[in-house]
Amino acid sequence: METRLERDIRILKNMDTAIATLLIALPSFVGLTAMAAQTRNQKFDEIDVERINIVERDGTITLVIANKERLPGPVVGGKTYERVGLKSPGILFYNDKGNESGGLRTASTEGSGKYVAGGGLAFDKYDGDEVIGMRYNDENGSRTVGLRILDQPDAPAEEQKRNLDEARNLPPGPERDALRQQAVVSPRVFVGRSADRSATVTLSDANGRPRLRMSVAASGEAKLEFLDVDGKVLQSLPAPDAPKAK
């Protein structure tokens, strides 16, 4: 028969074994609990963050939300460039290749009683620059707001530069126009409010030259103008000598 002392020693040994087993299993339990927590949706009442990257399973970035200091530069052809203009917070979209495909930005700056402000939502052509966008630009009250549709060259950036250099050495004509269309962005459609407070629709040719302009001035005067390649008005409705509508 075991003595009381022997029994107490046996109980303590069993307790030691149980505690050791628990300590060995605890890290695994904590790890499994953490993994399970990561698979559940998390709810936050409020969160402060400087940048959020939305990524695919392979790590490819598809969307970025960032403040003005952490907003990345434009990515074209896999290369990141410096972003020009006012620094601003924004939302950027990316295609499957990781190149920027559009975004939403807004910014302003003020000093010495003057200000500059602007904002825009734009979408880019595949592996290229903006083709449609809504823009707001304001400099001390001189304000332009509107929808823009643009033609972007289909040629790569290096070829665009060669085309532009060659076009500069050609006389005006179809050959130069064709090269310029593969060298520079061409605004085609503008619908909005111009700096002179007129509501305007401007349609331009493939080289960005306004050819048809419809406007209603702040005073209420309505006008339709047809222009040549040099911007000269060929015809205006109503005619310049026609009585003005009241």
Residue 46 has pLDDT above 50, yes or no: yes
Share of the chain above pLDDT 90, in %: 52
**71 & 89 share domain:** yes
Q: Which of 120, 149, 180 is the last residue of a domain?
A: 120
pLDDT band at residue 53 under the 50/70/90 scheme: very high
Which pLDDT does position 22 carry in this prediction? 47
pTM of the model: 0.74
DSSP 50-101: SEEEEE-TT--EEEEEE-TTTPPPPEETTEE-PPPSS---EEEEE-TTS-EE
The parent domain of residue 14 ranges over 1-43
Please name which of 207, 127, 132 lies closest in space to residue 163, comparing C-alpha atoms. 207
Q: What is the Cα–Cα distance from 155 to 126, expressed in whole angstroms?
A: 12
In this prediction, residue 26 has a pLDDT band, given cuts at 50, 70 and 90, of low
Q: What is the per-residue pLDDT for 20?
A: 53
How far is residue 211's CA from residue 174's CA, in Å, rounded to a whole number? Answer: 17
Whether 69 and 36 map to the same domain: the answer is no
Residue 189 clears pLDDT 80, i.e. is over it: yes
| pLDDT 10s digits, 136-161 | 999 999 999 999 999 988 877 778 77
What's the token pair of residue 7? 């029994």
Does residue 239 fall inside a structural domain?
A: no
- Residue whose pair of structure tokens reads 């962005």 in the numeric block: 185
CB atoms within 10 A of CB 188: 17
